[in-house]
Amino acid sequence: MIKIFDTTLRDGEQSPGFSMNLREKLMMAQQLENLGVDVIEAGFAAASPEDFESVKQIGEICGKTEICGLARCNEMDIEATIKALRGAKKPRIHVFIATSDIHLEHKLKISRDEAVKKAIMGVKMAKSFTDMVDFSPEDATRSDWNFLVEILTEAVKAGADTLNIPDTVGYSTPEEYGALIKFLKEKIPGADKIIFSTHCHDDLGLAVANSLAGVLNGARQIECTINGIGERAGNAALEEVVMAMKTRPDIFKEKNNIDTKQLYATSKLLSQITGQKVQANKAIVGKNAFAHEAGIHQHGILSNRLTYEIMKAEDVGRSTNQLILGKHSGRNALATRLTQLGIQVSKERMEIIFAKFKALADKKKNIYDEDLIMVAMDYDIEKKYELVEAKICSEKDKSAIAEAAIRIADKKVDVKSEGDGPVSALYAAIIKATGLKGELKSFQINALTPDKEAVGFVKIEWQDKHDKIWYGHGSDTDITIASGKALIDVLNRIEIRRIHDEKIGRL
C-alpha cells in the first residue's frame, strides 16, 4: 500500500499567490480527508500564530487522517508543533534538517557532525510526543549519499518511522532518484521496517516522474499536493501520481486509499479558494484533459473510447452536467451538491448558505458549481469589515464617483470618493473609511461561469506599509462590487492576523 502524504496546506500554501486563511484551510482539510489522503501536513506551527492555529484546528476536526506539523530540528519549532497537535486524534510530526554541503556551509553554517546531533535531538523530542515521526534530510538529492546513510541511520535509531527523501530544488532525474531510494534501502539497517517517502519538486518538470521512480524502487509514501502547487514550480501533483498508478497497475503494483472520483472536485475547490486557475492542458484535471477537437480523434472516440482515452473522465469525478440547481431548488439538493463538490457544512451554516444561494439564484438564471463554491466560501466568518452597499456613477471622460456604506465592527460608515474609474473610486472610498495603508500590487478578474450573468471573481495583492503582501478575494455578479469585496477581504485578513498575534503571541 502506498501512503499519500498531502502537503497542499503547508508547502503548497506557502508559495506566492496560494495563501489561504484559516476558514479556507479548514474547508480544504475536510475535503482532503474525504479524498482519502493518509496524511495531511497542516502547516508549520512555529512560522506564525495563524499557522499554529491552522495545525491546531485541522488536527481537531479531522478524525480519520493523520495530521502532521512540520518543524526544524530545534526545540522552539518542535515545542510549538507539539502544542498545536495536542488535540489531534492522529498527530504526526515531520522534522527536518539540511544535509547537502551547500546548505550546511552557506545556510546553517554547521558541520555534518552537528547536523547529525540536531537530527537525533529533533527526532527524539518529536518521538516523546507521538510514535509517528517523519525525518527529512533537506536537499537530499544534492547530498553525499554516504552521509545520508549516516544521518538517516541515526534518525531511525532515535525513533523515526518514516524517512522522507526530498528533491528540494527539483534537481534529480527519475533514474538517479530511483537509484538513491534503492541505495538507501539497501544501506540503512532496519530499512525493511521503515517507510521511505518521496518529496519531489518540479523545477525541471520531473516531480511526478521522480516520485513514481521512487515507488518503483521501494518508496511507500508520496508527498504531493493538489494541482501540483508549491514552492517555485511546485510539487508532484497528487492527481497525476494517483492516476498513473491506477491506470498502469501492470507497472505500479501497489494500491492507495484515494477515492479518485473526488479528484476533480478537490482540484476545483482549491482553484477557487486560491483564485488560481488550473491551466487548460493540465493532466487529469485541466479543462482540455478529456477534450477532443481534431476530427480524426473525434471519429476514433465515437467508435471506441480507448482509441484516444486511457482513462474515464468519470473515474476522476468529472461530469458535463454542472447545471443542476436553480431558484426552485431546495436545501437537500443544495446540500447534496455541496457534498459532491467536497464541501461539508453544518445545518446551522447551511441555513446561511441557502439564503445566499437563493439571493444569487434571483440574479442568475443558471447556477453552476463555481457559483456554489463561491457562495459556500463566504458564509459566516466573523468579519470586522463589510461592504454593505455601494453606488457608483461613471461617465466617459469624467471621474467616477463612489458612495459606499461600510460596516466597521458594529458601526456603519457612509463615505463618498472619486477616482479614475469605478473600481478606483470604490477603493478610494474604502480606504477613506478604514484608513487602510499601502498600495495595490496586482488585480485579476475572472468570470467563473460561461453565461452572460456570470459571477465575477476578483483576486488582488495588497502591499501594506510594512511591505507584506496580502491576498484578497471577492465575487459578485457586479464586477465593481466583487472588486470592493476583495479589498474588504484584505482588511479582514489583516484584522484576523492582528487578533491571532494578540491571542497567541509570537512563537
Of 52-66, 207-221, 329-343, 468-482, least confident by mean pLDDT is: 329-343
What is the predicted pLDDT for the residue at 502? Answer: 65
pLDDT band at 318 (very low <50, low <70, confident <90, very high): confident
CA dihedral 174, 176, 177, 181 (to 10 degrees): 130
In order of their start, the domains of the chain are: 3-274 (3.20.20.70), 331-377 (no CATH), 385-504 (3.30.160.270)
User: Of 186-195, 218-227, 262-271, 300-309, where does mean pLDDT reach its minimum?
Assistant: 300-309
Q: Are 241 and 254 in contact (CB under 8 A)?
A: no
Helices (H), ranges, 69-173: 75-85, 101-103, 112-127, 145-158
Alpha-carbon dihedral 85, 67, 237, 231, rounded to 10 degrees:
10
| DSSP-derived pairing of the beta strands 66-72 and 221-224 | unpaired
Per-residue pLDDT, averaged over 341-370, amounts to 80
CA 374 to chain centre: 16
| Pairing of the two strands 91-98 and 456-463 | unpaired
Give mean pLDDT, residues 297-320: 66
| Residue 85, helix vs strand vs coil | helix
Residue 261 reports pLDDT greater than 70? yes
Residue 157 in grid coordinates: 535509531
Q: Please write the tens of the pLDDT for every residue from 86-143.
A: 999 999 999 999 999 999 999 999 999 999 999 999 999 999 999 999 999 999 999 9
Candidate from 194-203, 277-286, 407-416, 491-500 with smallest mean pLDDT: 491-500
pLDDT at 478 over 70: yes
pLDDT recorded at residue 323: 43
For the segment 273-285, the average pLDDT, to the nearest whole number, is 89
**Percent of all residues in the chain with a pLDDT value above 70, rounded to a whole number:** 91
pLDDT digits (tens, 9 = 90+) for 427-472: 999 999 999 999 999 998 887 666 666 778 898 999 998 888 888 8
Stronger pLDDT, 134 or 311, i.e. the higher one: 134
pLDDT for 273: 86
pLDDT the model gives residue 453 = 67
* pLDDT of 299 strictly over 50: no
The lowest-confidence range among 119-123, 225-229, 294-298 is 294-298
**Are the beta carbons of 456 and 443 closer than 8 angstroms?**
no
How many percent of the chain have pLDDT more than 90? Answer: 64
pLDDT class for 306, splitting at 50, 70, 90?
A: low
CB 182 within 8 A of CB 218: yes
Q: Quote the pLDDT of residue 322.
A: 47
Each residue of 151-195: pLDDT tens digit?
999 999 999 999 999 999 999 999 999 999 999 999 999 999 999
For β-strands 385-393 and 400-408, DSSP reports them as antiparallel
pLDDT score recorded for residue 202: 98
pTM score of the predicted model: 0.81
Mean pLDDT of 5-30: 91
Q: What's the CA gap between 206 and 288, in Å, rounded?
A: 21
Mean model confidence pLDDT for the chain: 89
Band (308; pLDDT cuts 50, 70, 90): low
pLDDT at 310: 76
pLDDT at 145: 98
Confidence band (pLDDT; 50, 70, 90) for 351? confident
**Rounded-to-10 torsion of CA 66, 69, 73, 78:** -100
